[in-house]
A and B are shown apart, each in its own frame.
Chain A
């Protein structure tokens, strides 16, 4: 079946521009996670949802980062006024819940110039 999909796969933004990254989880998966992976580092947690409820946003690095999942399926991660330090791969993962495996999407590679 279809896995987690993310779009766009690549995004180049000018510093100060707003960007929106989309995640389509596996159908029926209750929980959705966003991670940020800088070059040479492991992924770092940003935020997660259970259905439409955002249960933890403690990893969002600043108030320029905002995530939503209004209907409990597709999620959007928005970054306002992008900075060079926002350049990274943004990974989305979904899971059925109950501690089951998190399945990752291919990521969106963001480059801020």
Chain B
């Protein structure tokens, strides 16, 4: 079983739609959680960190359920520019400066 699992998609949604991505992780030692965005043939870039209390950044909301080892990302009012691959990421162990473990990514296409 992979350490981080997420639905690869693709998710094809119209502009203005709300879309949700989910992922699960297997390593209970992970303490830091993130969503990264990766555009085609580009490097991953941090979209947002994910906290147990849930957090929101504009149209993006992330949730973490430690008991279920489940992370989600909600995108409201989708824009064409949101089209990308969204990577669910946890750190390998503990907190602080440790390697990241990535899911395969979920591809989103927002269509006009």
Contacts and interface: CB of A to CB of B under 8 A. Distances in A.
Interface of A: 30-31, 33, 35, 40-45, 48, 50, 56, 59, 91, 93, 95, 97-102, 104-107
Given A95-B97, A99-B91, 15 more contacts: A30-B97, A33-B100, A35-B102, A42-B104, A42-B105, A43-B44, A43-B102, A45-B92, A48-B99, A50-B97, A59-B99, A98-B96, A99-B32, A100-B97, A104-B45
Contacts of B95: 99
Interface of B: 4, 32, 42-46, 87, 91-92, 95-97, 99-105
Nearest to B103: A42
A97 B102 contact: no
Contact of A104 (B44, B103, B104): B44
Contacts of A97: 96-97
B46 A31 contact: no
A101 B102 contact: no
